[in-house]
Amino acid sequence: MRFLTSGDSHGASITAIVEGVPAGLPIEKEYIKKELLRRNKCAGRSQRMALEKEEVVILSGLRKGLSTGAPITIMIPNSEFYDLSEAQILQIQNDLPVSRPGHADLNGMLKFGFKEARNVAERASARETAARVAIGAIAKIFLKEFNISFASAIIQVGEIKSSKKITFEKASKLDAYFPFSDKNRKKAVLNLLENFKERGETVGGKVWASAKGVVPGIGSYTNWDTRLDAQIAYHLMSIPSVKGVLIGDIENAVSLKGSAAQDQFADSSKIFYKRKTNLAGGIEGGVSNGEDIVATCFVKPIPSSKFSKKGLNLQTKKKQAPQITRADTTSLAPVAVICESLMAIVIMQNYLEKFGSDSVDDIKNNFSIYQKRLRK
């Protein structure tokens, strides 16, 4: 399965084309919209996101509610584009002569020879991730057929860290509006966000995401680019505000002796060779081992704030205050949803690689044969 996204932050729509979704998969637009609203309607968002209705239009690849095996085209209209007057649209699409530090502005201008940053800012915007959340929704629908589910949590906001060890079960019960994993410190976190919002400041933190139910043997050790952990890290690092990815509990494991950092086999295990611990995050040697797949993302503070440092005007070659745009206080809650989506995409790609890709029924048959072999 491969996909392509297109569209600008303040353009008519965000679009995705997905090739390789097997035939016979039931796909509901409402579920895709629900996932998009999870990304949208959460704490830390700016007024801009309140304008987005996140409607979903499927233009191809679906008939009578089932995938046909042909490429699926998804369009997500930018509500703001249709709700504003032409004059207002021109205003939000005006030139950006001053590049903003912390953004792709200057680098993109130099790369393509632009004299202002609007073309860069529109496409480098995190609005693009809406397309990948939509694709991730399709991946989740597919993986649900194989009893795979996803959960995510925020485990740190600024200097406030959760004191609770997160598990899949705990994460799946958290409030989607702001899934902070420590209920005793959640009020302090929300107060921090409100304070930062009033001041025009932003904050980063850490996001935890997990997939439950992935069978052992997904991914491969045979080539570097087929390693499952490498693929997951690659996709998660593509989220604009993510600057680091950890697989498993490596942050704590690095302080342990090698003999203590191994996930020992459970003595009573008969199926899937269960482990006593999951420091490896469900992946050993680039291959899933049957435990929950776990990743943690380090999320930087959004660089757009009213305290933005002076940018660079390429036309005058002088430093200048950049245009202040509407910006989120934090991207942590949206990143949690995006992480789930991208993990789902990677896992679906690997399931199709191992079990076939034409028909959902055929894939299920192949999967059943594999499960029987694992139990021998």
pLDDT tier for residue 292 given thresholds of 50, 70 and 90: very high
* Of 350, 336, 286, 288, residue with least CA distance to 142: 350
Give the span between the Cα atoms of 311 and 106, in whole angstroms. Answer: 9
CATH of the domain at 57: 3.60.150.10
Domain that holds residue 24: 2-375
Among 84-93, 179-188, 258-267, 295-304, which stretch is predicted with the lowest mean pLDDT?
84-93
Sign of CA dihedral 143, 8, 76, 302: positive
- The CA R_g of the chain, rounded to the nearest whole Å, is 22
Residue 89 pLDDT: 76
Residue 308 has pLDDT above 70, yes or no: no
Which is it for strands 149-157 and 283-284: parallel, antiparallel or unpaired? unpaired
Mean pLDDT of 295-308: 85
Give 77's contacts (C-beta < 8 A, 6+ positions apart): 12, 13, 53, 55, 57
CA atoms within 13 A on the CB side of 30: 1
DSSP 318: E
Percent of the chain scored above 70 by pLDDT?
Answer: 95
- DSSP secondary structure string, 52-116? -----EEEESEETTEE-SSPEEEEEE-HHHHHS-HHHHHHHT----EEPTTSSHHHHHHHHT-SS
Total structural domains within the chain: 1
Cα separation, 203 vs 193, in Å, equals 8
Q: Give the pair of three-digit tokens for residue 207.
A: 């996001």
Q: Closest by alpha carbon to 156, among 137, 180, 127, 129?
A: 180
Produce one character per residue of 45-78: b if its CB has 16 or more CB atoms within 10 Å, e if not: beebbeebbbebebeebbeeeebbbebbebbbbb
pLDDT of residue 318: 86
**How many angstroms separate the CA atoms of 33 and 131, rounded?**
11
C-alpha 337/C-alpha 327 separation (Å) is 18
Q: Which helix (H) or strand (E) holds 319?
A: strand 318-320
Residue 189 has pLDDT above 70, yes or no: yes
Distances (CA, A) of 273 to 80, 169, 289, 369: 52, 21, 8, 18
| CB hemisphere CA count around 137 (13 angstroms) | 24
pLDDT at residue 305, as a whole number: 67
Q: What is the pLDDT of residues 224-241, one digit of tens each?
A: 999 999 999 999 999 999
Angle between helices 332-355 and 360-375 (to 10 degrees): 80
Confidence (pLDDT) at 269: 58
Contacts of 299 (CB under 8 A, 6+ apart): 204, 205, 206, 207, 241, 242, 243, 330, 331, 332, 335
Query: Phi and psi dihedrals of 11, rounded to 5?
Result: -90, -165
Confidence at residue 244, expressed as pLDDT on a 0 to 100 scale? 97
Q: What is the pLDDT of residue 224?
A: 97
Residues 94-113 have a mean pLDDT of 92
Stretch (H or E) spanning 311? strand 311-313
Q: Is the pLDDT of residue 135 over 70?
A: yes
Distance between the two ends of the chain, CA-based, in angstroms? Answer: 31
